[in-house]
Every structure is written in structure tokens, then in C-alpha cells.
Amino acid sequence: MSINRSPASRLLAAFVAAGTLAAGTVACADPQENAAPESAAASTSATSTTATTSTTTTTSRAPEPADIARARVPEEQRAKAASLMVVGVDNYDDALWKLQQGVGGIFITSWANPELLTTPGRNIVALREAVGRPFSVSIDFEGGRVQRHDHIIGPRMSAREMAATMSPEQVEHYAFELGNSLRWHGVTVDFAPVLDVDAAGLDIIGDRAFSTDPYVAGEYGAAFARGLAAAGVTPVFKHFPGHGQASGDTHLQLAVTPPVEQVVAHDLPPYAIALGQSGGAVMVGHMVVPGLGDGTTPASLDPATYTLLRSGNYPGGVPFEGVAYTDDLTGMRAVTDRYSLPQAVVAAVRAGADQPLFSSGGQLVAAIDALDAAVTAGEVPGERLDDAAHRVQLQLLSSGA
């Protein structure tokens, strides 16, 4: 019997098959080499692990003739769990090892070896050839003080300067040129634009925001996103539901916003505008929002935040069906002071995140194992894992990654 599957389901089937093979290869490797690197310091052992995994003979079960996006057998469940992870990488060998664990995306950190963007045989093109399945490549490139590897990509002005010197149409073209450069170097996802409204004079936001006016911020953010998307790069709006009025920097501490009513009135209008005009993904920040959820959990781990995002239940809001990322789960004390990485990953996916993001991969395998175990135990509903994996594959499909 022939079963017709959606393009996303077929892509996920290939992804799961590749992930299952990678997992089986590592499991059969020499125990000394199975302790593969999860940090830059271990990049030498990554090379030996890669060599071992490329020569080990394994037998992988072919995907069953069913909608794999909705199936849950043990190997496929773990592969789906791995496919949600977006993890920072240090260099080619580090990136290759992490992709062999089945992660759905790599994040080009500020400390990553530039060879990933430049050097034939050691760059993203080479990674794609070696891995043989789709994966996303993300970067933080807003312009101004947040633009990673700008000596390669080409520097851009800050959001505030864009809005002060350009029309929205000019910003769209400016972002299109940036997107072309990013795509040329292998990047498919940009964690930009910032939709935060510079309301409290926080240094962490400041000139990263387009404006102190929510509606101006929304119009310019939407224009920037359209430019990236036209170049084939997925824009990621951040930091939902809004960092501009928070009490501090979530890199350094747990920060609290004003009550949810003020957040809805002042911080969410940019999302109503931008999500209504242009496609893309959303990054959820680590702020605590009084009156939203339990009032103590960071928004990135709080189910009420994702319910608000998905429903569009705020003035002018629209239901959001795209990928929801967390902010960095390893580099920000608003999370790391209270949760280990495996705990944070499980809490984020259970709450509604599709892609947990972490810049440090030191506990990558433990995080995958924890999410897999949480689904098996029923702590994370299997449907929640399926929905997240399906969205991730749809985004990969639409970006041509």
C-alpha cells in the first residue's frame, strides 16, 4: 500500500534515519572514543571519534511506512529529541561530532573558529557533505554591538541607527544584503531582529532596539525580517514577550518585568505588527512576567508564555505557528543559577519551546537523554515532542537548509 506523506514528514523520516544511524555508530565505537568532545578543549578527540564512526559497520532499521512525524518508537523518539537541539560549536570537528549526535542545528558562537565560514573542507559546506542530512546554521547578527564574525560577514549599523537614518524600505534592502552575505557563508537562521522596546534605558537593550516607540519598533523589525527572508535566511524575533522594561540583564541575574498588563500594552505591539507582516521564528526570553504563569519561572520555561505566543491573544496579535526558540540556556544566569542544562531543556520543551538553544555543548548528550527519558516517562507528552519536531522540519524545508 502506498502512503502519501507531506514534504515535512518525508524530511523528518530522512532526518530520523540519519540520526538513528549516527546514534548506532557511536554506541558501537570503542569505549575510549565514545567519550567524544563536548567542548573546544576536547576537539582533538573529536577527530578520532569522527574517524572511528566513519569506519564502523552498523545496521540501521529503515523507517516504517507511516507518518514518521507522528510515530514514536524508541530510536525515533530519541532522534526527534536530538533534532530539537540547537547547540553552539567551536570548530569543524566540534560541529561534526555534535551533528553526529543528531542535533537539528548548530549555532556559530562568537568564539567559533572562522574556518567554519571560510575554509574549504572545514566549513559549513563540508559539514553538510559529511553529515548528509539537513540542519540549520544560526548566528547572532543584529548589527551594531551584536554582530558575530563581522570581519567576514561585513559590519552593519545598529538597529537604532538604522531607524534614525533609513526608511523601513531601506532597512529591508539593507537586511536583504546582510542576508545574502549570511547565506553565502552557509548561515540559514539569524537571531534578529530585536523587537524589544527601549523603555527602561537598560544597557543590554539600548541601541539594539529600533525605537522607544512600540509601533516604530514593530514596523522596522518587520522590514528587517522581510529583507532576511527574501535572501533565504530565517529571521528570529526576540525577546518575547519583551525585555525592554525588565529590571536587569538576564545574562547576569533573574530579571522581572512590570505586570503582564503593562507588557501587553507596551512590549507586545511590535509582535502584533511584525508577526502579522512577515514570517519567521520567535525567541522567548528569560524574564519573569508577573501575572503571566506562576510569576517566578522565566518566560522561556513557562507554559503560559507559549500559550500567549501561540494564541496571539493580545491586541492586534495573530496566532503563531512557527518555531519558538529559547534564549541561551547555558550562558545566562537567569536560568543557570536555578537549572542544569538537562533540567532546562526538559522544562523548555514541556512548556512549549520547539528548539532549546544553548551556546555551550558540555552536556549535550545528557540533555538529549533527559528529554528522551522525560517523554518516555510521560513528563513531556509525546504529542509535544512530535509537534516541535514537525515545526523544526517545516522550517528546514522552507529554508532549503
- Known catalytic residues are 251, 327
Count of beta carbons in the 10 Å neighbourhood of residue 126:
18
Whether omega for the bond prior to residue 241 falls within 30 degrees of 0, making it cis, is: yes
Task: Say how far residue 227 (Cα) sits from the centre of its chain.
Answer: 19
Task: Return the half-sphere exposure (C-beta side, CA atoms, 13 A cut-off) of residue 393.
Answer: 26
Query: DSSP 3-state helix, strand, coil percentages of the chain (rounded to 5)?
Result: 50, 10, 40
- Report in angstroms the alpha-carbon separations of 185 from 126, 182, 319: 12, 5, 33
Please answer whether residues 58 and 115 qualify as being in contact, where contact means their C-beta atoms are separated by less than 8 angstroms: no
Please answer whether residues 275 and 320 qualify as being in contact, where contact means their C-beta atoms are separated by less than 8 angstroms: yes
- Report in angstroms the alpha-carbon separations of 323 from 137, 235, 319: 15, 11, 12
DSSP 35: S
Q: Is 103 helix (H, G, I), strand (E, B) or coil?
A: coil
Please answer whether residues 202 and 244 qualify as being in contact, where contact means their C-beta atoms are separated by less than 8 angstroms: yes
290, burial (CB in 10 Å: exposed 0-12, middle 13-18, buried 19+): middle
Which among 354, 399, 59 is positioned nearest to 228, based on CA atoms?
A: 399
